Structure 1
Amino acid sequence: MEVMERGETYNLSYAKKAALVVVLLPLLVMYTEAMLTPALPTIQKEFVINPNDVSWVLTIYLLVGTVSVALFGKLGDMYGKKRMFLIALGFYTLGVILNGFAPSFQWLLVTRAIQGFGMAIFPLAFSLVREEFPPSMVPQVQGMISAMFAVGMVIALPLGAWVTQNWGWRWTYHSAVPFVLVMFFLAWKVLKESRYVNPGKLDWAGAILLAFTVVPALVAVTRAPTVGWTSRQSLILFGTAAIGLVLLILQERRAENPLIPIEIVSKRNPAIVNVGIMFAAFGISMMSQANTYIFQMPEPYGFGKTILQSGLLMTPQALVMLIVAPLAGKLMPKVGAKPIALAGSLIASGGLAFMSKYATTLSLPQYVTMISIVGTGITLMNISLINILVFSVPPRIMGVATGANSLFRNFGSTWGPAIAGTIMSTYYTLLKLSGVPIPLKIPTEKAYEMLFGGAAGIYLLLALLILATREIMKGGRIHEMENEGEKEVVVE
């Protein structure tokens, strides 16, 4: 069955099959990544390393991935998004296979870096959705993609704890290999190449300067809670990143075919969405850190649950998000992306403000209800922002736009745990547990007040930013950018 939208023909049966592939993608990646978290202490013991060293298992993936999302996004625009998607997914598949066989910690870091190149699958998938799906279908598919992130996290955390406990950390990767291979086969078999190609020479100077900016900045943020934000190491890294950023902007302004087109990403809607996604990821990370401690700290400082139980207690939040996201995507062309994003940010802000005052006094059912409400708000906001982005940018540079968006998201996700860790290290009390030689640092009520209150303030700021966006859909009509002009699509 074919449909005609914006003067182009779309194969609806293909779109439905392709939607299944891209919707399952975040489920797979969250399964793989979240299963690793409970395994970190076991990895630390096997390779006889300290906690700071084992954190590099997460950091190296993020460092390589943050550069790769921008690089592969650009290459997707130049050579075809399906082609680069398969290459990125190939890196991810290879990394997952090799991780479980790493003979040393150094080899594990190398294979995790290989896996990091695969992080580019997300911006490329978002681009393919925007290009190859009927515009009226895009918001619903984006909604399902957003929901699957939460579902994958809920499945992976308890499952990862169970696998690590019973089979060892290597099986967190071995168990994922069949699913990754199936995903690669489905993507190769089902997905079509994008219809928009923007050939040109790769901006290698921009790529090098991007790495020169991103790597020191992310290393500084991840190390600062340990060595100090004003330590000599932190200041040198932050200074290096600042110099790299200035040079990168100068290079991209004069480059013939820039890696990150400044004139595009600095326009109103893309700029607001990128900053908004960065702050949103920052707020989510701070909230997640607080949730982890409240669920797992012993009573009366928390609910005293295991990792497995904590994951199961997040199931209601995931179910709510799974229902809300596609419904929001279906309603969005009628009511507009902007009102839904605004409502989501205000719901999240209000819920977090309430938790900043009462989180430590809530019963377990009340706490689970509150994080489900906050999750609803975050879902509404995230799905709206990504749709605002993809309809505000011409298809010929969609890879660059979504790659830059992922770069901003990664920065927010990195800053969140670092700031949360600093707050919890500042406001704590010592608790001596039987069988544990060193007193345990327990975050105080003040720490949670600052974490939830800070996140509430961030989402309130996002509401103000959303007010400044230009609406791209309303009343059944989608206003989308097509090259340098705008087209209007009527959604039946």
Structure 2
Amino acid sequence: MEEPISGTRPNGIVTVMAVAGIVASLTQTLVVPLIGELPRLLGTTASNASWVITATLLAGAVTTPVMGRLGDLYGKRRMMLICSIPLILGCVVCALAGSLTPMIIGRGLQGMGMGMIPLGISALRDVLPPDRLGPSIALMSSSMGIGGALGLPIAAAVAEYASWRVLFWATAVLSLLVSALIWLLVPATSATARGRIDLVGALGLGVGLVCLLLGVSKGADWGWSSGTTLGLLAAAVVVLLVWGWWELRTRDPLVDLRVTARPQVLLTNLASIVVGFSMYAQALIVMQILQLPEATGYGLGQSMLAAGLWMAPSGLMMMIISPIGARLSAARGPKVTLIVGSLIMALGYGSSVALLGSTWGLLIVTCVCNIGVGFAYGSMPALIMGAVPRSETAAANSFNTLMRSIGTTVSAAVVGLVLSQLTIEFGGHVLPSETGFRTGMLIGCGAALVAAAITLALPGRRAEPAPVPEPAHAAKH
């Protein structure tokens, strides 16, 4: 399909897609205020309770690339509606959960709904006129920041003043509303690809990702030198290499690695990993500094609710900056926008050297960092869609989303390792030291500079996604 669908209402479509992105990303931060209470609420240990977060991560990573490919094969709107089903069911299961197992199942179902975001971004290419595409991509990409920014204070307030189950019931209602809006306002998109789903490739990628992300996310708990951690990471390498071999020889691959190897796609995905790493580092560090006791000498003594409110403006900055990023991409190309975004992120991290000691200072740091994230997140889908065939738009965007998820997972592991090594004794507890926090911020700064350097190597491209000839698959089963 080379032309947008006629008779569409661009404003309504973009609004629905942005709301869908907000609600989907909102589910990721719902349980953050509950982490400390989950062992008591679910009758389990703190270590086991961490699976509530890990389950969402794994389910999202495994299913997002599959949903993207299915979107190309059977229509993106159809698959967005299908993604809303586990999202709604997951919220209901979590709301009814009285023990750990159903909570993990519910969170896994919520993770399966995360494929809605890249599907929505990809659908914009099919349903919008070219002059609306860039700003709309930037707005929907920024919606992920809005969901995270608003989710934390809202969840903290509800958890403090009402039952925690209200969080999940409310999200179930919002998810149901989003699915109804998609059904009513987003036009049906026809299949843009032919072929069949690569079940072997889906299984191989799923197993490889589970081994990789489980090893990285749980390595600190199990020990980085433990047999379980090393075995999972080694298995990930072997499985993913075999998966790559299979994808290169099968006729209908889940992920077309030949297209993925194109310089613009490959370098954008590498930059996405590093941007995801950098973005998540400050989110992990700033929240802890805000909540640590003032008696430590560097903590700011804020409650979870107050800390969430201090973090909220930074997420809003992503939405405010998105139209500026879109205009920059239209004028100079998304490569320039990604470079600018990465450098602004580095500037935000660098400013933490002087601003780490006050709430207002941290507000400035997070706002500057997220301005950079807003530029970067809006440019990456445009770079991907400008280099892949229309028949692979959803699969390519979903794979790019996966790259960012890998970046955030590695960031959590690296920052967690740094903070666990640089500690102080306080009130009978071991806490991350100020040196540890500053080291983590400098690592985030370095990652942002690496992202800018990778982006410099990108070939110059036009700002708007252009049709790319379909790749010829010479190899068969």
TM-score using structure 2 length = 0.94
Superposed CA deviations along residues 208-228 of structure 1, whole A, max 9, x for unmatched, are 111120111111111111222
What is the rounded CA distance, in whole Å, between the counterparts of 1:146 and 1:78 in structure 2?
Answer: 23
Change (3 A) 1:340 1:201: closer
Report what 2:277 is aligned to: 282
Report what 2:475 is aligned to: none
What is the rounded CA distance, in whole Å, between the counterparts of 1:371 and 1:261 in structure 2?
Answer: 37
Change (3 A) 1:199 1:249: same
Aligned residue pairs total 469
Whether 1:84 aligns to 2:69 is no
Q: 1:102 aligns with which of 87, 93, 97?
A: 97
Report what 1:358 is aligned to: 354
Q: Displacement of 1:194 after TM fit?
A: 2.0
Report what 2:461 is aligned to: 472
Quick check: 1:82–1:193 contact (8 Å CA) kept in 2? yes
Quick check: 1:346–1:460 contact (8 Å CA) kept in 2? yes
Superposed CA deviations along residues 28-67 of structure 1, whole A, max 9, x for unmatched, are 1233321221012222202221111111111111111111
Of stretches 102-111 and 91-100 in structure 1, the one that deviates more from structure 2 is 102-111
The AA in structure 1 aligned to 2:98 is: P
What is the rounded CA distance, in whole Å, between the counterparts of 1:11 and 1:154 in structure 2?
Answer: 35
Q: 1:344 aligns with which of 337, 341, 345?
A: 341
Q: Displacement of 1:122 after TM fit?
A: 1.3
Quick check: 1:32–1:172 contact (8 Å CA) kept in 2? no
What is the rounded CA distance, in whole Å, between the counterparts of 2:235 and 2:265 in structure 1?
Answer: 26
Instruction: Give 3-state SS (helix, strand or coil) of 1:8's partner.
Output: coil
Q: Displacement of 1:8 after TM fit?
A: 3.2
Of stretches 139-148 and 300-309 in structure 1, the one that deviates more from structure 2 is 139-148
Report what 2:413 is aligned to: 418
What is the rounded CA distance, in whole Å, between the counterparts of 1:189 and 1:256 in structure 2?
Answer: 36
Instruction: Give 3-state SS (helix, strand or coil) of 1:226's partner.
Output: helix
The AA in structure 1 aligned to 2:466 is: E
Report what 1:489 is aligned to: none
Change (3 A) 1:13 1:73: closer
Quick check: 2:145–2:315 contact (8 Å CA) kept in 1? yes
Q: Displacement of 1:89 after TM fit?
A: 1.2
Whether 1:22 aligns to 2:11 is no
Instruction: Give 3-state SS (helix, strand or coil) of 2:293's partner.
Output: coil
What is the rounded CA distance, in whole Å, between the counterparts of 2:467 and 2:429 in structure 1?
Answer: 55
Report what 2:436 is aligned to: 447
Instruction: Give 3-state SS (helix, strand or coil) of 2:467's partner.
Output: strand
Q: Displacement of 1:193 after TM fit?
A: 2.2
Whether 1:143 aligns to 2:142 is no
Quick check: 2:34–2:159 contact (8 Å CA) kept in 1? yes
Whether 1:427 aligns to 2:384 is no
Instruction: Give 3-state SS (helix, strand or coil) of 1:430's partner.
Output: strand
Report what 1:483 is aligned to: 469
Quick check: 1:28–1:152 contact (8 Å CA) kept in 2? yes
Superposed CA deviations along residues 285-329 of structure 1, whole A, max 9, x for unmatched, are 211111111111111221111111111112332333221112221
Q: 1:374 aligns with which of 369, 376, 389?
A: 369
For the aligned residue pairs, the C-alpha RMSD in angstroms reads: 1.8
TM-score using structure 1 length = 0.91
Whether 1:165 aligns to 2:160 is yes
Q: 2:319 aligns with which of 314, 318, 322?
A: 322
Quick check: 1:301–1:442 contact (8 Å CA) kept in 2? no
Report what 2:199 is aligned to: 204
What is the rounded CA distance, in whole Å, between the counterparts of 2:94 and 2:268 in structure 1?
Answer: 34
Instruction: Give 3-state SS (helix, strand or coil) of 1:302's partner.
Output: coil
Q: Displacement of 1:92 after TM fit?
A: 1.0
Report what 1:490 is aligned to: none
Instruction: Give 3-state SS (helix, strand or coil) of 1:473's partner.
Output: coil
Instruction: Give 3-state SS (helix, strand or coil) of 2:9's partner.
Output: helix
Report what 2:448 is aligned to: 459
Whether 1:48 aligns to 2:39 is no
Report what 2:56 is aligned to: 61
What is the rounded CA distance, in whole Å, between the counterparts of 1:479 and 1:162 in structure 2?
Answer: 42
Identity level (%): 25
Of stretches 326-335 and 83-92 in structure 1, the one that deviates more from structure 2 is 326-335
* Aligned ranges 1:118-133 → 2 under 5 Å: 118-133=113-128
Quick check: 1:472–1:480 contact (8 Å CA) kept in 2? no
* Aligned ranges 1:390-401 → 2 under 5 Å: 390-401=385-396
What is the rounded CA distance, in whole Å, between the counterparts of 2:302 and 2:226 in structure 1?
Answer: 36
What is the rounded CA distance, in whole Å, between the counterparts of 2:309 and 2:379 in structure 1?
Answer: 28
Change (3 A) 1:162 1:79: same
The AA in structure 1 aligned to 2:304 is: I
Gaps of 5+ in 1: 1-5, 433-438, 486-492
Quick check: 1:359–1:448 contact (8 Å CA) kept in 2? no
Instruction: Give 3-state SS (helix, strand or coil) of 2:166's partner.
Output: helix
The AA in structure 2 aligned to 1:456 is: C
Quick check: 2:389–2:470 contact (8 Å CA) kept in 1? yes
Change (3 A) 1:479 1:236: closer
What is the rounded CA distance, in whole Å, between the counterparts of 2:168 and 2:361 in structure 1?
Answer: 35
Q: Displacement of 1:390 after TM fit?
A: 1.6
What is the rounded CA distance, in whole Å, between the counterparts of 2:202 and 2:5 in structure 1?
Answer: 35
Whether 1:33 aligns to 2:28 is yes
What is the rounded CA distance, in whole Å, between the counterparts of 2:465 and 2:155 in structure 1?
Answer: 43
Whether 1:224 aligns to 2:213 is no
Report what 2:306 is aligned to: 309
* Aligned ranges 1:231-250 → 2 under 5 Å: 231-250=226-245
Q: Displacement of 1:196 after TM fit?
A: 4.2
The AA in structure 2 aligned to 1:349 is: A
Quick check: 2:29–2:152 contact (8 Å CA) kept in 1? yes
Quick check: 2:382–2:465 contact (8 Å CA) kept in 1? no
Q: Displacement of 1:330 after TM fit?
A: 3.0
Report what 2:378 is aligned to: 383
Q: Displacement of 1:189 after TM fit?
A: 1.3
More strand by share: 1
Q: 1:74 aligns with which of 47, 69, 81?
A: 69
What is the rounded CA distance, in whole Å, between the counterparts of 1:385 and 1:421 in structure 2?
Answer: 27
What is the rounded CA distance, in whole Å, between the counterparts of 1:313 and 1:417 in structure 2?
Answer: 21
Superposed CA deviations along residues 85-127 of structure 1, whole A, max 9, x for unmatched, are 1111111111112210123211221222222221111121111
The AA in structure 1 aligned to 2:350 is: A
Instruction: Give 3-state SS (helix, strand or coil) of 1:441's partner.
Output: strand
Quick check: 1:160–1:172 contact (8 Å CA) kept in 2? yes
What is the rounded CA distance, in whole Å, between the counterparts of 1:7 and 1:449 in structure 2?
Answer: 50
Q: Displacement of 1:12 after TM fit?
A: 6.8
